[in-house]
């Protein structure tokens, strides 16, 4: 096992299977609970949706259903950590932010060993609408000192990342999603903090993505290959710590970097990539693909991805526009050359 790696988690999924990332969290939590008696789980009345109910069914005496009271859940988790337990607390990503002040002062400030999972993140929450589209959670948690942040791209990575969260001392946050996503990693994949993974090599540009955007990036790279462009695709689940070396290498070798995430463009993966490039003195052109500075509407996730310009077609157009110097900020989907956005989803 490589230094800093977590190990794989037995699950039975195969490459190409469509599995929800939240299922990876639930499977990982159950497996880490089986091998580590100090693990306890808490949920804020959404255990079936977050998949923590699998742990609750097998270990009811180590599970705490806190009801719709996220602040209480966070403080209770902090107390359990003080008693030597390793709590995993989950809720919808948007609801977990209700307890942000408690996360900051009761957990992060004391470097407590509490792990959080925000389920149903991003536009993938679809028809639940703007109030449920957590598009700032990565930024909210990334801001806090000592907080590890991970946004897995598939269920296999999520399951392994749960073990990595357990093994890493201090607080950590994982984002999971509801909709099924293709399995991209082999069964023996081991998530490592601070390490990205090159899924496809290329020399003309690099796309750095996490969450469901990794699949969109792979589709975009395939389409661009047919147009004569060789595009590197990097899966960057570990947002904090982030793989500065791999990002700098991609910038130096290709000269063009596009970040892609189901998140506001501010303070998420794109901001972290920009910080790395600037900090390493890499003179590469960067464009951040994400939801622009505005709230969203309800709709089918595929329609939302198209409408807000974060799907494979948009990513591909951004790569082309960045290379030919035709992009100008601020960017809306209709600004992309040749891009046909979907009709506006119903409010």
> Mind telling me the catalytic residues?
70
Torsion region of 200: left, alpha or beta (phi above 0 gives left; psi -120 to 50 gives alpha): beta
| φ, ψ of residue 27 in degrees (nearest 5) | -65, -45
- Token duo for residue 170: 């201090």
| Of 88, 30, 23, 77, residue with least CA distance to 50 | 23
Q: Is 131 exposed, middle or buried (0-12, 13-18, 19+ CB in 10 A)?
A: exposed
CA 75 to each of CA 2, 65, 92, 283, 347: distance values in angstroms, whole numbers, following the listed order: 34, 14, 17, 44, 36
Cα–Cα distances in angstroms (integers) from residue 19 to residues 40, 155, 156, in the given order: 25, 6, 9
Within 13 Å and on the Cβ side, how many CA atoms surround 139? 16
Distance of CA 283 to the CA centre of its chain: 26
Cβ-based neighbour number of residue 145 at 10 Å = 10
């Amino acid at each position: 096992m490589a230094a800093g790696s977590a190990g794989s988690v037995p699950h039975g999924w195969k490459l190409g299977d469509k599995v929800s990332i939240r299922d990876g969290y639930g499977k990982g939590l159950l497996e880490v609970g089986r091998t580590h008696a100090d693990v306890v789980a808490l949920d804020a009345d959404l255990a079936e949706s977050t998949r923590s109910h699998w742990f609750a069914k097998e270990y009811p005496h180590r599970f705490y259903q806190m009801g719709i009271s996220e602040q209480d859940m966070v403080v209770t988790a902090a107390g359990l950590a003080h008693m030597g337990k390793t709590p995993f607390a989950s809720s919808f990503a948007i609801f977990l932010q209700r307890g942000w002040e408690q996360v900051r002062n009761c957990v992060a400030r004391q470097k407590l060993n509490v792990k959080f999972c925000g389920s149903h993140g991003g536009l993938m929450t679809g028809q639940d609408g703007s109030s449920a589209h957590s598009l700032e959670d990565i930024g909210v948690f990334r801001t806090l000192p000592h907080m590890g942040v991970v946004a897995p791209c598939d269920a296999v990575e999520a399951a392994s990342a749960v073990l990595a969260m357990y093994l890493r001392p201090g607080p950590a946050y994982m984002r999971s999603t509801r909709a099924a996503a293709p399995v991209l990693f082999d069964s023996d994949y081991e998530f490592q903090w601070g390490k990205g993974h090159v899924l496809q090599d290329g020399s003309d540009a690099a796309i750095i993505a996490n969450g469901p955007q990794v699949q969109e990036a792979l589709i975009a790279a395939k389409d661009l290959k047919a147009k004569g462009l060789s595009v590197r695709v990097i899966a960057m689940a570990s947002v904090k710590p982030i793989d500065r070396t791999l990002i700098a290498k991609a910038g130096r070798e290709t000269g063009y970097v596009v970040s892609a995430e189901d998140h506001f463009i501010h303070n998420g993966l794109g901001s972290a990539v920009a910080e790395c490039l600037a900090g390493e003195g890499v003179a590469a052109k960067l464009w951040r693909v994400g939801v622009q500075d505005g709230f969203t509407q309800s709709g089918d996730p595929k329609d939302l991805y198209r409408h807000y310009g974060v799907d494979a077609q948009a990513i591909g157009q951004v790569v082309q526009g960045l290379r030919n110097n035709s992009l100008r900020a601020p960017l809306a989907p209709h600004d992309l050359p040749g891009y046909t956005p979907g009709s506006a989803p119903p409010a």
